[in-house]
Amino acid sequence: MNKFNFILLIVLLITVLGFAESISTKRIKNRSVHQLSDVIFTKDGGVRGTVTDTHRVWYGIPFAQPPIDELRFDDPKPVRSWKNIRDGTVQRDQCVQECGLGPAACSPVGTSEDCLYLDVFVPRSFDAS
């Protein structure tokens, strides 16, 4: 492959990845939220989620205590119950890992060792009762 073709390929690749990123971002921004207080109750406490046109989502439901400080190298410990309603409307940090797929495929949230959380998605018509 000569130098011109190589440069052309790089420019084309950057253009395609930039376009894919803009589509991905638009999808996230265009989700309309109908109600901001969809609360479910787990055995450990309540979590507030969101309802979009197509689904309901609760982000960041803990399933174990964070593996930080004195728990860093221990087995996961059961999560402690909470009294207040947890905010499950925004994504939590992901576990530390390398994502080499580019910005369009990698999550926009940060990373942390405090990452033992579940994100729960259900169809909009889901009945929690």
User: Residue for token digits 């797929």?
Assistant: 101
Q: What is the pLDDT along the chain (129 residues), one digit of tens a residue?
A: 687 767 767 777 776 666 555 444 434 444 444 444 589 999 999 999 999 888 999 999 999 999 889 988 999 999 999 999 999 999 898 888 877 887 777 767 788 889 899 999 999 887 766
User: Residue for token digits 């969101």?
Assistant: 50
Q: What are the residue ranges spanned by the domains of the chain?
A: 1-30, 33-123
Q: Radius of gyration of the chain from Cα atoms?
A: 20
Which residues, other chains included, contact 87 with Cβ-Cβ below 8 Å and sequence gap of 6+? 48, 60
Confirm whether pTM is higher than 0.85.
no
